[in-house]
Amino acid sequence: MSTEKKVPSLEESRASIDRIDRELVQLFCERMAVSADVAEYKRAVGKPVTDAARERALLCKISQLAGPAMEGHARTLYATILAVSKAYQHERLNTSSKLEGKITTAVRETPAFFPARAKVACQGVEGAYSLKAAEKLFACPDVSFYKTFEDVFAAIDRGECDYGVLPIENSTAGSVTQIYDLMSCHRFYIVRALRLKVDHCLLAAPGTKREDIREIVSHQQALSQCAGYIANMPGVKATAFPNTAKAAEFVKTAGDGYAAIANRSCADIYGLEVLEEAIQDNGNNYTRFICISKKPEIYPGADKTSIVLTIPHKPGSLSRLLSQIDALNINLTKLESRPIPGQDFEFLFYFDLESPIESPALLRLLGELESSSEKFRYLGTYREML
């Protein structure tokens, strides 16, 4: 007589799952009700919502209860439940933070319309893409050019300019990592962003033929965006310059054999010829620029928030943070990590969150992250122009 266990049918297994799910949902709702009681107790005694020691102990207990086979899955589940529970407690307590007050003040004090005229700092020289971005952001910008990206941040710090315009990422070549690194050591706020269509041209001195070119100069991002085109020019060297327009300015006096990758307006500015247009590898090539200021300004329609923070260098830390964001139904549109100088294997994480500034859930999330993160910076809430 066979003792082999009969495998249930799919319908039987699904019926069992439905029954278990009904019980789980009921128990989850009961747990959240008790969580609300805990929130009221914390309000009465003045304790914060986050209790890191209690969370660690609970997750260790869950691991023991689940056993070796299901330990990892159970910890993931309960880390999510804890994140949802904390969000619910904040909602029940209607807790506010210093950051929430700062944001509320910025919303109240910011004018209804983005300025048409302002003193604006850009990196590079005449013809730079940053200038094009500034001219789209402001109707009549008074632009001052600076040699480096860091000089732009410094100009805002010193009050030389009201705003700075900086490239932060490209749809083909990715993030401008230097900007992310500079953002960690300068105090500023993003007040607007812009996605600019970028079409690169090959520029050279009048009379130069494509076959005469021995060296192409441009910003590293532009070289990356045109890597396929350059690869089809055997023997041609690619050299990085601080700025595309600066590269065009160099080619003007460099002599034979040089060409620059820059925008078309640089041909007129520096007396060069356009040998070929739209040479980027991807025709749908956009660069995202941010507009920064020394103080927070939050204009009507702002629906994108940028923050930077550190998280513990432990398994599951990032997953739990993402669960917090998901629990509040906030859309995460970008996550970027950068190493912290001088700290091995420690990283800063940059987040772009999509949610209207009026959303109570966004303010709760920011307040919770500010209180629970070792290092946290709010970089601004703004609107992104297309």
**Would you please indicate which residues are annotated as catalytic (active-site) residues?**
287, 289
Q: What is the DSSP code (8-state) at residue 210? A: G
How many other C-beta atoms are found inside a 10 Å radius of the C-beta of residue 178?
Answer: 16
Residue 97 DSSP class: -
Q: Provide the 10 A C-beta neighbour count for residue 117.
A: 11
Structure tokens at 191: 């007040």
Q: In sequence order, what are the beta bridge partners of 194?
A: 289, 385
What's the distance, CA 25 to chain centroid? Answer: 35
Q: Which residue in 269, 287, 267 sits closest to 277, CA to CA?
A: 267
Q: Could you give the CA distance from residue 163 to residue 72 in angstroms, rounded to a whole number?
A: 48
Non-local CB neighbours of 18 within 8 Å, separated by 6+ positions:
none
Q: How far is CA 152 from CA 31, 37, 155, 226, in A?
A: 52, 51, 5, 26
